[in-house]
Amino acid sequence: MRNDKILVVDDDVSIRRLIWKSLQSTGLLIYQSDSIEKTLDIMTRVKFDLFILDISLEYENDGYHLAQLIRNQDPIVPIVFLSGKTSENDIVTGLETGADLYLTKPFTPNVLRAQIIATLDRSKQVQGTQQVNQVNELIAGAFRLDLNRCQLFKHEIPIKLSSKELKLMQFFMENPNQVFSKEQIYNSVWGNDQVDANTIMVFMNHLRSKIEDNPKNARFLKTVWGIGYTFTPTEE
């Protein structure tokens, strides 16, 4: 039995009830909210291990805004979008906003439960590794990653990253100048062998937009055509 705290934010009470039924057997402590205002109020009293958000709350894209507010307070807590919006643009926007996972409605309770538990376990594993690791920062070329503060610096200038972008950057800084396939990256960072090439592309492009001087001519995070990606910390 688990005692992780998760917050489900959806303005449809039937969906919140279905999510609760899907997860209650795990022992998770499930809190509920139907708006941004209520969510922010609950967050002042409770620290959550994971958020499940709908995109459409009171207004069309409130979920995106809420995800950004959550990220401002906690850059590494897992955020899962569970939405009826299924277009590629909606999924890409959700991932770029800071979500770790994007699931669509209708959903299968068993699949939802497995995805949530896997996401929580992965998050705990990463946090535990950072706590026991004697090295509390990584340095590669112009980049420094403070693992305790979950903060990336370039030439000592802070760069704001989402939790998945931080995990990606940590993976590359721990393995510089090596070429990795999309499958290897997805397995190492997402903890899943079923690679989602579109998700990889979205996160790579978004990470480049933050760490590169010219994202269209990447010097650090390079594509190796036909294979995958490599991180070269020293500018050529």
Predicted TM-score (pTM) of the model is: 0.63
The CATH number of 134-231 is which of 2.60.120.10, 1.10.10.10, 3.40.50.150, 3.20.20.110? 1.10.10.10
- Give the model confidence (pLDDT) of 16-66 as tens digits: 999 999 998 888 899 999 999 999 999 999 999 999 999 888 776 788 989
| Domain regions of the chain by residue span | 5-130, 134-231
The CATH number of 5-130 is which of 3.40.50.2300, 3.40.50.1000, 3.30.70.640, 3.90.245.10? 3.40.50.2300
Is residue 14 helix, strand or coil?
helix
| Distance separating alpha carbons of residues 19 and 6, to the nearest angstrom | 11
231 pLDDT band, cuts 50/70/90, is very high
**Residue 147 CB contacts under 8 Å (≥ 6 apart), including other chains:** 130, 133, 135, 136, 137, 138, 170
- Give the model confidence (pLDDT) of 116-159 as tens digits: 998 888 877 766 555 544 558 899 999 999 988 889 999 999 99
| Predicted local distance difference test score (pLDDT) of residue 194 | 64
The beta strands (E) that lie in 89-159 are given as: 101-104, 137-140, 143-146, 151-154, 157-159
